[in-house]
Chains A and B, each alone.
Chain A
Amino acid sequence: MSRRVALPPLGTLSLAAELYLQALGVETVAPPPASRRTLDIGVQGVPEMVCIPCKLLLGHYVEAAERGATDIIMLGGPGTCRLGYSAAQQARRLREWGLAVRTHTLDLCHVHHDLFRLTRVLADGRSVRELIEPIRFLMDLLSLTDALETTALVARARERERGAMDRALAGALERVAALRNRRELGEQRDEILWLVRAVELDPDRPVLRVGLVGDAFTILTPFLNHNLEVRLGRMGVEVHRWFHYTGRIQVPLPLLLRRDRGGRARRAGRRYLRRDVGGFARSTVGEAALMAQGEVDGLIYVAPFNCTPEMVAQSALIALQREQGVPVLNLSFDEQTGPAGGVTRLEAFVDVLHWRKGR
């Protein structure tokens, strides 16, 4: 039986990964976007105290199996938090529920090596040489989608017509979804980028710059964070997301290792958090420290409720806040569906930033 591979929806990563697998000749299945139902399925298989990404992911895996996936790529790997064994637990739950799928874990802590390993498993029968071109395609795809998203996150704050940026981004991503190989991408790259760069902006609008740090899964899932990034953009806030796929997946040249952004963030964060406490805590504290050095007016720390690594990181940020004088808003998300409390905090935070900036 041929493989039908599914990947949980995770922003533009899923889009790029799907195109990559298709370029390798692997059939893919796209699970439906996160919904109330996804979460309802997930909570049945995960203990109540566990963080929400874990629950939502399990729901995605089940919905992928329902759509006919034979192989599911799970996010996990040996981290120091629950993420370390959540994939194993979820795989077991799928078996208990009688879903006959093969599960593969993508180790988020060592993405470069593991992506290659996983590719060889999924595209079995192909030589290493045949993998080179698709891998380069994947890197170019991620670099393109990162550029699109970064532009949208910053420029949405200045859009003249509300919603124009969202439409442009959706249109651009649709064009990306139609790309089949690196040649097509090369030919259309500028044209696709221009779709979002052509959105009419108001250069005189007073905008704020906010750094979005914390748990990547929560940041990248609008269903969980109540569309935080778009909401901020429409409040006139340029969003600087700490997490970019290109930075996570591309292998930096050893010589540049200490000079790239990741290296600088590691050094900036060492002062506040010395060891790896799991999740994205260490990288996110580093990025926050770097952003606090004049790149942003304030920081928003996003975490799933009850996430241990992020709680440690949050306390590390108190010192950062005191030393650098940068305001930090902590937002934690759980199964609640009402955005009201969060919106009040966001609005008040934006007011605080305007006030401080007006000084």
Chain B
Amino acid sequence: MTANRRIYLDHSATTPVDPRVAAAMARALTENYGNPSSVHAFGQQARAAVDRARREVAMLIGAKPNEIVFTSGGTEANNLAIRGVCEAAVDHGRHIITSAIEHPSVRGVCDALEKRGWEITRLPVYDNGIIRVDDLNAALRPDTVLVTLMWANNEIGTIQPMHEIGALIRERRRVENGQRHLWFHTDAVQAAGRLPLNVDEAGCDLLSMSAHKLYAPKGIGALYVRRGVRLAVQNVGGHQERERRAGTENVPAIVAFGEATKLAREEMPERVAHDSALRDRFESRVKELISDVVMNGDRERRLSHLSNISFKFIEGEGLLINLDLEGVAVSTGSACSSGTLEPSPVIRALGVNDEIARGSIRFSFGKDNADADVDYVVEVLAKAVERLRALSPLSVVGR
């Protein structure tokens, strides 16, 4: 029952820690144990390490170091951004614009604010998984205080038209009597380190990142907050992070995050070329060997490392476990709990039926995968799909 090979194709869920990152973190654990808030030399040594990491993180997205707030991860960054902006701008409006395919951490905060009286507009994404800027333009209101749209989607990898969105929002602020309290946040957890990001070019005011998506450990992330954005602080009781997030800094994790962003910036072209070659090889083999598949999301405007495929007549979790038994790790966005079907909201937002949504699997490649991994996965995938289809009344009885 236990496979000899283990192949990890779930890099959108998390990535293995790069040995260079682990080494940097280990050094920080043993050498930089001072509290960065302490005035003595031990503290200042830790402070210097945090500052170096902050410069690296800022450089990855074209920001200034003092615009970076370290958090415990992407979810906290999204919470801080959305709650922080909305609570600070409550006198100017209670309208938020988001999309139908946001990460649960954005969706959840918006849902919670909706219950507290905020109005939420959720933009549709159409069959390619991309919003239309015209829809955003039509949805903007004088009382809109926040637009929160993910840079790239975590399930299908589609990339939103950030520059057009940013330009539209800037224009709304610039016109006479413009909306000075309209801010643009983006959840860039999947995009950071995988796409060249520049906050000025994209015109975003807040940007969330997570370290463990770019070969660093879990438990550390960051929120970029453009100078001038008013943010209601969510963690109080300390002066850390320029009064924006109280709590002693997680120095070793921050150092690891800094090292990982440096590596991501330096190695991005090679990583993107590597991942997209693997993904294209995988998709082409899947189409050759397996019938009745649906490739989800836009074919061009998407992240290079991710492939989301629905296999007709079968359900994703059964396929996931069959692959797991062969040593292959993938993920599915659908779940069935207590007899209640919960197909992936992202795949459903593409306008597909429940069967296609339930049969979707995400394969996400990484820098340590090789061509031979792809070939092995396609081989075991084809067999698993065949086995499950032989069992399915949707395929067997329908023939």
**Do A and B actually bind?**
no
Residues of B whose CB lies within 8 Å of any CB of A are none
Residues of A whose CB lies within 8 Å of any CB of B are none
